[in-house]
């Protein structure tokens, strides 16, 4: 029997209080998790270090961290983010103000996906696409960090909106597509350009978009010209950074391909894109069989091309990284939005009850973990959790966080309680439950998580023992840690490859499971040793050269 295909009920003519409730859900999702924590490894300290080097110095054309040029990074997106973060930085620390830029890029993605589906569906689908998007499990912690990948996430969504606008206004579509291509490029160099621009070019040769071929090719050419002009300015103003950018692969990854597995992203998306991918896969199976207009329709062809090309580009030309799954979420969200009204009753009932029960139980577990941390109850939970957060100061109980969790619980109950069983309602309930769990985790468990994840406490001991004058070499000191040390304590090291190359009287060694070996005891004396709380495998050791070592080094 043919499945029931319907886009009813429509997104139009919603009660005002429902619109306000949905806007409140989007606002909570966007702004929760932005404040109250430090930059966490591995990526956020790196890009924060680039931004900090710009706003605190003159490195606007040379992306660098603690005085060292960062290979493969373009400065243009950080210019935009610096402008966005300027006003928030007057009130909040830079690392929290910088995340406001990610909030705006995520907001752009939400609006773009919603408007794209509204254009393609004739108004029947708009908010539903945004609801499906914020229900995606994998994007919560990654969208709420300061990273260029969030801007690529927005660029892909904006490009989908541009393709949806072609039938109504070719000029408006061209502007959106050019902006999307340029945004992808300034965010992730050539990788971002290919993820956004290549699907636009290929869509020009798809049967559905053949009548818009001129507009699509024009958008691709104009976007490429703008990117080329930016590269030309970069090469003229910062020749050393330009050379380093080219030598690093121009944002692409070609080395160590034995680490690549074709199924990496497909397996990762099973949890990262839940519950988008099952609904999207169901819609693809329907359209291939000819239902709902078949596969030769714009709302199907565009997201499929963006998804397929994005997967191929990232699999072939990028290092396997989970954060790149952000690039695939907007097209999956569009496909899932058009598939929600077609899924079977048992499917959306499973999503509904799974979200309410499992996520509700998980949220209760988060509350119990927090009570174990701050109040020592239940005893078994407290004993277990304190193994992971040694030396944590639990004297400051987050009473405001508990109030926020209670308010979130009441809102979640008010959202779910009057719900009638429907596929759209199941996705709204899911998004509400996931957001509630995220809010509770951020409100109650951010301080202990920050205690074991941030490097600020570990580097405090190094800062106290830091020499008042003279240089400090560093060995095996990673870029992320160098950025954190510079950001929090304004300390800069001169990196060398091995201990034999040390020229300064002080050397900072980052050791992982006692590797590399400590400097010779007859030449160096341990001045300070630090490590993150609960991390016995990694340590940071500051050594001072002894006078005997200096004499031995001076002897030919």
> Residues 429-458: pLDDT tens digits?
888 889 889 989 988 998 898 888 888 888
Pairing of strands 506-512, 64-65: unpaired
Instruction: Read off the pLDDT band of 550 (50, 70, 90).
Output: low
Residue 257 has pLDDT above 60, yes or no: no
**207 compared with 176, residue with greater pLDDT:** 176
Identify the pLDDT of residue 227.
Answer: 96
Q: What pLDDT score does 354 carry?
A: 80
Give SS3 for 13: coil
- Domain ranges within the chain, ordered by starting residue: 39-342, 349-453, 456-554
Instruction: Categorize the per-residue pLDDT at 3 as very low, low, confident or very high, splitting at 50, 70 and 90.
Output: very low
Q: What is the pLDDT of residues 483-510, one digit of tens each?
A: 989 999 999 999 988 888 888 999 999 8
Q: What pLDDT band is residue 10 in, cutting at 50, 70 and 90?
A: low
Residue 6: band (very low, low, confident or very high) from pLDDT cuts 50, 70, 90: very low
Mean pLDDT of the chain: 86
Q: 258 falls in which pLDDT band (50, 70, 90)?
A: low
Q: 74 pLDDT band (50/70/90 cuts)?
A: very high
CB 312 within 8 A of CB 260: no
* CA–CA separation, 508 and 494 (whole Å): 9
pLDDT in tens, 317-355: 888 889 999 999 999 999 999 998 888 888 788 888 888
pLDDT at position 556 over 50: no
Question: Looking at residue 4, what DSSP letter applies?
Answer: P
What pLDDT, on a 0 to 100 scale, did the predictor assign at position 328?
96
Q: What is the mean pLDDT of residues 116-140?
A: 90
Lowest mean pLDDT among 160-169, 245-254, 326-335, 366-375: 245-254
- Higher-scoring residue by pLDDT: 344, 278: 278
- The C-alpha atoms of residue 498 and residue 476 are separated, in whole angstroms, by 8
Choose from 247-256, 356-365, 366-375 the range with maximum mean pLDDT.
Answer: 366-375
Residue 11 confidence class, pLDDT cut points 50, 70, 90: low
Q: How far apart are the C-alpha atoms of 167 and 486, rounded to whole Å? A: 51
Comparing CA positions, the residue from 550, 548, 532 lying closest to residue 540 is 532
User: 548 pLDDT exceeds 50?
Assistant: no
First to last CA, the chain: 89
pLDDT of residue 307: 96
* pLDDT at 261 > cutoff 80: no
Average pLDDT of the residues in 101-115: 96
Average pLDDT over residues 265-282: 92
Give me the percent of the chain exceeding a pLDDT of 70: 92
Banded model confidence at residue 16, pLDDT cuts 50, 70, 90? low
How confident is residue 309, by pLDDT bands cut at 50, 70 and 90? Answer: very high
* CA nearest neighbour of 212 among 200, 221, 223: 200
Beta-strand relationship, 494-496 and 472-475: parallel
In this predicted model, what pLDDT tens digit does every residue of 161-200 receive, in sequence order?
999 999 888 999 999 999 999 999 999 999 999 999 999 9
What's the CA dihedral at 388, 394, 396, 397 to 10 degrees? 80
Give pLDDT, residue 125. 86
Cα–Cα distance list, 330 to 20, 267, 270, 380 (Å): 24, 18, 15, 42
Predicted confidence band of residue 203 (pLDDT cuts 50, 70, 90): very high
Q: What does the pLDDT read at residue 1?
A: 33
Q: Over 70: is that where the pLDDT of 271 sits?
A: yes
CB 143 within 8 A of CB 36: no
Q: How confident is the model at residue 555 (pLDDT cuts 50, 70, 90)?
A: very low
pLDDT tens for residues 279-298? 999 999 988 888 877 788 88
Is pLDDT above 80 for 151? yes
> Is the model's pLDDT at 146 over the cut of 90?
yes
- Of 148 and 68, the structure prediction assigns the larger pLDDT to 148
C-beta neighbour count of 60 within 10 angstroms: 15
More confident residue, 452 or 131: 131
> What number is the average pLDDT over the span 223-227?
97
> Which of 358, 362, 442, 363 lies closest to 409 in space, CA to CA?
363
Retrieve residue 265's tokens. 């992203």
């Amino acid at each position: 029997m043919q499945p029931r295909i319907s886009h009813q009920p429509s997104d139009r003519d919603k009660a005002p209080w429902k619109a306000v409730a949905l806007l409140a859900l989007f606002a909570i999702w966007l702004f929760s998790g932005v404040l109250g924590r430090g930059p966490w490894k591995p990526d956020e300290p790196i890009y924060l270090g680039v931004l900090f080097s710009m706003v605190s110095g003159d490195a606007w054309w040379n992306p660098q961290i603690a005085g060292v040029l960062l290979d493969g990074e373009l400065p243009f997106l950080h210019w935009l983010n610096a402008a966005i973060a300027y006003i928030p930085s007057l009130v909040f620390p830079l690392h929290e103000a910088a995340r406001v830029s990610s909030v705006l890029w995520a907001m752009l993605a939400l609006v773009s996906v919603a408007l794209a589906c509204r254009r393609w569906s004739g108004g029947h689908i708009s908010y539903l696409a945004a609801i499906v998007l914020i229900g995606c499990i994998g994007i919560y912690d990654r969208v709420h960090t300061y990273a260029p990948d969030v801007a690529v996430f927005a660029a892909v969504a904006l490009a989908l909106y541009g393709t949806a606008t072609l039938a109504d206004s070719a000029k408006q579509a061209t502007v959106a597509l050019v902006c999307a291509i340029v945004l992808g490029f300034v965010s992730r160099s050539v990788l971002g350009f290919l993820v956004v621009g290549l699907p636009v070019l290929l869509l020009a040769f798809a049967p559905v978009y053949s009548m818009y071929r001129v507009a699509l090719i024009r958008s691709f050419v104009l976007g490429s010209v703008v990117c080329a002009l930016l590269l030309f300015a970069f090469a003229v103003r910062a020749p050393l950074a330009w050379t380093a950018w080219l030598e690093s692969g121009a944002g692409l990854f070609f080395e160590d391909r034995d680490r690549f597995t074709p199924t990496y992203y497909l397996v990762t998306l099973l949890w990262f894109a839940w519950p988008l991918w099952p609904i999207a896969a169901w819609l693809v199976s329907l359209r291939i069989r000819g239902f709902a207009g078949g596969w030769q329709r714009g709302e199907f062809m565009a997201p499929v091309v963006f998804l397929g090309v994005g997967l191929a580009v990232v699999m072939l030309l990028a290092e396997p990284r989970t954060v790149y799954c952000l690039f695939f979420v907007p097209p999956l969200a569009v496909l899932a939005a058009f598939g929600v009204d077609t899924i079977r009753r048992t499917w959306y009932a499973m999503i509904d009850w799974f979200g309410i029960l499992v996520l509700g139980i998980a949220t209760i577990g988060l509350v119990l973990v927090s009570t174990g941390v701050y109040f020592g109850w239940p005893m078994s939970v407290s004993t277990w959790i304190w193994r992971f957060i040694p030396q944590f100061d639990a004297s400051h109980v987050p009473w405001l966080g508990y109030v926020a969790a209670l308010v979130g619980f009441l809102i979640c109950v008010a959202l779910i309680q009057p719900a009638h069983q429907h596929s759209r309602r199941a996705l709204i309930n899911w998004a509400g439950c996931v957001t509630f769990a995220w809010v509770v985790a951020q409100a109650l468990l951010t301080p202990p998580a920050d205690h074991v994840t941030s490097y600020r406490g570990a580097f405090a001991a190094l800062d106290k023992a830091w020499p008042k004058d003279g240089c400090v070499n560093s060995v095996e000191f990673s870029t992320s840690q160098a950025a954190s040390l510079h950001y929090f304590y304004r300390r800069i090291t001169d990196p060398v490859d091995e201990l034999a190359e040390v020229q300064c009287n002080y050397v900072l060694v980052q050791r992982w499971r006692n590797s590399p070996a400590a400097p010779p005891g007859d030449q160096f004396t341990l001045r300070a040793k630090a490590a993150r709380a609960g991390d016995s495998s990694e340590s940071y050791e500051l050594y001072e050269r002894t006078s005997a070592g200096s004499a031995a080094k001076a002897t030919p």
